Amino acid sequence: MGWQTVVITKPCKLSIKDKNLLIKSEVGSETKVAIDEISSIVVEERQVTLTSPFLSMCAQKDIALFVCDEKHIPSGILLPFHTHSRFSKNSYLQINSSKPFQNRIWQNIIKRKIFNQSRVLERTASENILTLNNLSKKVQSGDKTNNEATAASIYWKSLFNDFFRGMPEIRSRGLDYGYAIVRGAIGRSISGGGFLPAFGVFHSNDLNPFNFADDLIEPFRPFIDLEVFTMYGREISSPMKYNLTKEDRVRLINILNKEILFNNEKTTLLNSIDEMVFSYSRALKSKDPNLILLPEFIDE
């Protein structure tokens, strides 16, 4: 799998030539990028032509191809289909995993999410660090006492001033953009690993084709939260300002290249996603939910 993210911001044609991505502008200039080096492509411009060989190559190479709406927020993604050599076996294990196994997986996910949220508060000199840390240790199987919601209420009030999720302002827009990028990268790894994105361990919305991605993104959300805090601060002077600049979007896309801690080793966030999905496969085969590996912040 590649590591580069290509962002398309001007009218052009995307095709394949000699195993390279060929980007041909309206004025005739050409740019080539080795297809094996690409992990994701974000098409922000509306006037872009995509050839059939290009789309097929993206699927074959496990490249996450995002298309964006008029506000530059990712609105769709092309994912590889049945690329894993053991697709049938992995998907069978996934959909037939027991409820206790799923509950324990969800417990581990939420424990790590809340713990990572406490690390964000620590890095932003916020309050309630120990409160969240303690909450993470009390998460039960299936999070039946809903510590996730309790932590979220404390977390957002501690991290940002005058803020709630969904507000029409730039911090919410930045979070939405960053989450969409990471969610798409997780969907790519899920499909590439031979799993079905629609079948989650906790999320189970019949209308959501990415339930499993919405499960696995949870411990990664704090990394985007911290990036948005670094970009905009605890509070903003103009709450109604919510249009991301090109520089903002590129910075949030590059969260995939952020160095984090995974299985006690430093790696990129993108690579950790692939490793997490692989570890879930091991957990399924061994019926041991504790074998799933999840991301952490590197100690400062």
DSSP of 141-199: GGGTT-HHHHHHHHHHHHH-SS--TT-SSHHHHHHHHHHHHHHHHHHHHHHHTT--TT-
CA distance 300 to 281: 31
- Rounded average pLDDT over 76-98: 77
Strands 20-25 and 30-34: antiparallel
Residue 17 has pLDDT above 80, yes or no: yes
Please provide residue 164's backbone torsions phi and psi, each rounded to the nearest 5 degrees. -145, 150
**Rounded to 5, what percent of the chain is helix, strand, coil?**
50, 15, 35
According to the 3-state scheme, what is the secondary structure of 162-175?
A: CCCCCCCCHHHHHH
Q: Is the pTM of this model over 0.85?
A: yes
Angstrom distance (rounded) from CA 52 to CA 236: 44
Q: Which domains does the chain have, with CATH numbers?
A: 4-78 (3.100.10.20), 87-296 (1.20.120.920)
pLDDT digits (tens, 9 = 90+) for 194-240: 888 889 999 999 888 889 999 999 999 999 999 999 999 998 776 66
Calculate what percentage of the chain has a pLDDT beyond 90.
Answer: 65
What's the distance, CA 171 to chain centroid?
17
Kindly report, residue by residue over 242-272, the tens digit of the pLDDT.
Answer: 788 889 999 999 999 899 999 999 999 999 9
Instruction: Name residues whose C-beta falls within 8 Å of residue 109's C-beta, 6 or more positions apart in sequence.
Output: 201, 202, 215, 216, 218, 219, 292, 294
For the chain, the maximum distance between any two Cα atoms, rounded to a whole number of angstroms, is: 60
* Structure tokens that stand for 281 in this block: 């496969």
